[in-house]
Structure formats: C-alpha cells, structure tokens
Structure 1
Amino acid sequence: MTITNALSGTSVDEVSDGIYRINTPVVFEDGPGGFSFNQYLIVDDEPLLFHTGPRKMFALVREAVASVIPPERLRHIAFSHVEADECGSLNEWLAVAPDAQPLCGSIAKLVSIDDLADRPARGLEDGEAVELGKHKVRWLATPHLPHAWECGMLIEETTRALLCSDLFTQPGSDHPPITGSDILGPCEAFRRSMDYYSHTKHADAMLERLAALEPRMLACMHGSAWEGDCASLVRALAQSLHE
C-alpha cells in the first residue's frame, strides 16, 4: 500500500495487472463508523479513470493518480451513473487532462453529461468495447441496477475485473485493498438499512448476465476489491434481493 496523503489516508494499490485502486477513507463527525471512496485507474496506452470522486476530493485523487502516471496522460474519464462520487469532479479532470473525454453510457450522455461536462462525452451502447492498449473495457448497461436509469458497469476483458460501482457497497472506512472474506453480509445489511436499490424487476436477468461473464475480481466503489468465485457471489446477491 502506498499512502499518497498522510492527512486524509488516501492510498494507492495495484489490485490487478495495470489496475490501481485509489482509496480515501472518511470518518463522520458525531456519527458511527465511516465510509470509503474508491477510484480505479487502468494504466495503458490510453489510461482510464473509473469514478472521478466527489469534487471536494479532487485534489486527493489527483495526487494519488500522479503517484502512478502524470494525470495529463488520462484519455478516458469513465463512470457508472450521475452522482457526485461517480462524476462530481469530471470537469476538473477534463481541465488537467486536455486529451481526455468523458466515457459513459449513451443514456447518461443524452440526458446529463453533454450538458454538465465541458467536453462532449463518448456514449457507449450496451456491449460496446473500448481498446486501451493491452486492456479492453466493455460497457454493460444495467439500468436501475443498483440505481439510476443510466447506470452501467465496465468489465476489463484481459484481467476479468468487473468495475461494478455501487453493486457491493461495504460500510466502514478501514478496508484492505483486496479481500476474499465475506462482503455479502455487510453489504446486504447496509442496503437494507438504506434501501438504495431501485427494486427493478429486471435485476435477476442483469445479475445473471454479470455472473455469466465469470469475473475474477469485483472492483467495488466502496470498500475492498473482492477476489474469489465472483459469479457465485453475484448470484448470491440476486438470491438475497428476493429475501
């Protein structure tokens, strides 16, 4: 683990070949526990950042990216859906990376990003792939899973890392970069307490599609990245949503 900011505890770890998890823990004042925010940097000929982090965390995330590559090398600023932690600092990243373009689903481009962003987005259709060099990412549209019409995920086809955004949100601020221990229990307890899933009737089909891809890692936005039998874990989540 490389700590890039001692005050915030922001750190960087290579969690798969050429894929770096940037993590900032947050402890809430006058509140129990904490939370964590992750971004994933794919280093290649055309580097990609997945999740920008909130606007107020931009300096921390930029510092962390700079510990791996010059931020101006970024070519793709990607995210799952429109929320502050997903794309809140999008324009700040476009300013420091002049050749970068927002990368999102076609719905997000249509309804939000071409208005919010300082440069037009590349809107991906379901199943569309983007070559980064030795890595290739493919957009998987998951409308309303876990939330937001424009929601989607990326699978990196070389490492089989699934950039799954909020799908397995883990509470707390102290997480190892990678784990193989139980995350479904804490994730589901947190989901039930917050009720942030959309209750879409198509969840089963979308989760089965993700499981059938047989990812080797779940690159979660909040908490640890998870290694193990990812297909079984995704199917266990589908079962839990019924219970």
Structure 2
Amino acid sequence: MQTTTVTEIADGIYRISTSVPDVAPPAGFTFNQFLVDADEPLLFHAGHRRMFPLIAEAVTRVRPVEDLRWITFGHVEADECGAMNAWLAAAPHAEVAHGVLGCQVSLDDMCDRPPRPLADGEVIDLGGKRVRHLDTPHVPHGWEARVLYEETTGTLLCGDLFTHMGDGPALVETDVVGPAIEAELLFRAMTRAPARPRSCPGWPTWSRRRSR
C-alpha cells in the first residue's frame, strides 16, 4: 500500500514522500517531491504520471495545485517528470523550467507548454525564495542533469544524488553518504562509477580514486 506524507524540512520547503514497499524489496523505496512555498510556488520533481493524484492531493495540504508557477526536476526520467503535463494542465500559469540542454534535447518536444530554459547559474526569484539552477551533467546521471539551490534556506534540491532505500525520515541528522553508497551498489545508477565499463569508445578511463 502506498502512503504519502508531507513534512516541512526547512522554512517554507516541504517534502512530499510516497513509500512504495514493493519496489526494491525488502526495504522498499520512497519517491520524493519538494514544494517550495513562495509567491511563485515551485515543485521539484513532478513524479510518476500514475502517482499524480496522490501527489496533487498532498500538495493541496500546503497550497492549491492551481497556484503552482514552476515545475522542475533534476533530469528527464519517468519518476522525475512523468507527470509534468498533468501538472501543467492542473496549474494554468505553471511553466516547466530546466537547463538549456534538457529543453533542447527533450522538453521542447515533451512539454505541452514551452519550457523555460535556464542558463548555468541563473536564478529564479520566487518572491520570498530564490532558486539557482546549476548544470551537473552526468551527476548523478543524464547529460542534462542539474540541481537547484534554494538560497534563502541553504537547501540543495539534488534528486537521485543521495538515493536511500526504505522509508527514511524527512530530515537525516546522521550519515547521508553511506546509505547512498548502499543504494548505488544495488542500482548501479551513477554515470561515472567504478562499475562503468572501461571499453566504451571515446570515454575517458576513470580510476576508482577519480570516481570518488
């Protein structure tokens, strides 16, 4: 059974968390979205298309869905942007905002409304909050990967970079790196890692030391 919770993790920033026990058993897996509550509310991670009703209901505990102004995510993947057009339909003033490369390669075609391309380091002033777009190609994966940094609270919205198994707490006061390494050993999802084949033509050889 899927359950969705809403937790304020910083001033005006909420984690919307859906636990899915039958993904990667026995611990299960949790899919997270983050709502930045500001004059122009921003959602980081649109979530799976099929999870849209659950996530939308959770968003309404903080703000009406139609108030959303920005739809964002770390990279183009179903769990991060599968529901983006559902959000655009529900929030008539919302735009998808992503890096220039992601827009050119995928989102100009995939979005029902034209996306807003962001240059590396560009800031969106949300009114009470400020998010800075930072290109991070292939970190954790995807050449269009990026992170967002909310400057007023010092909150890094970084997608799969610190993947954890199970249904963990919203705020982790202990080690975040160890559980992320455990998840990487299971999924092998990082682009530059020791497990990457060294025979790929044109790719540099990354030693174990360099990959850390």
After TM superposition, the score normalised by the length of structure 2 is 0.89
Q: How does 1:45-64 map to 2 (within 5 A)?
A: 45-64=39-58
Q: How does 1:5-84 map to 2 (within 5 A)?
A: 8-28=2-22, 31-84=25-78
Unpaired segments ≥5 residues, structure 2: 194-207
Shift of 1:29: 7.1
Q: How does 1:152-167 map to 2 (within 5 A)?
A: 152-167=146-161
Aligned counterpart in structure 2 of residue 189 of structure 1, from 169, 176, 182: 182
When you count helix as a share of all residues, which structure comes out higher? 1
Distance (whole Å) between structure 1 residues aligned to residue 209 and residue 6 of structure 2 = 33
4+ runs of 1 displaced by more than 3 Å?
238-242
Aligned counterpart in structure 2 of residue 119 of structure 1, from 100, 110, 113: 113
* Aligned residue identity for 2:8: E
The aligned counterpart of 1:180 is 173
Distance (whole Å) between structure 2 residues aligned to residue 15 and residue 92 of structure 1 = 25
SS in 2 for 1:178: coil
Contact 2:33 2:47 in 1 (8 A): yes
* Aligned residue identity for 2:126: L
Encode CA deviations 1:186-207: one digit per residue, 9 max, x unaligned.
210221232111118xxxxxxx
The aligned counterpart of 1:208 is none
Distance (whole Å) between structure 1 residues aligned to residue 23 and residue 151 of structure 2 = 40
Contact 2:23 2:29 in 1 (8 A): no
Unpaired segments ≥5 residues, structure 1: 1-6, 201-237
The aligned counterpart of 1:198 is 191
CA change 1:74–1:187 in 2 (3 A) is same
After TM superposition, the score normalised by the length of structure 1 is 0.78
Shift of 1:32: 2.1
The aligned counterpart of 2:86 is 92
Distance (whole Å) between structure 2 residues aligned to residue 190 and residue 162 of structure 1 = 20
Alignment RMSD (CA, Å): 1.8
* Aligned residue identity for 1:187: A
The aligned counterpart of 2:197 is none
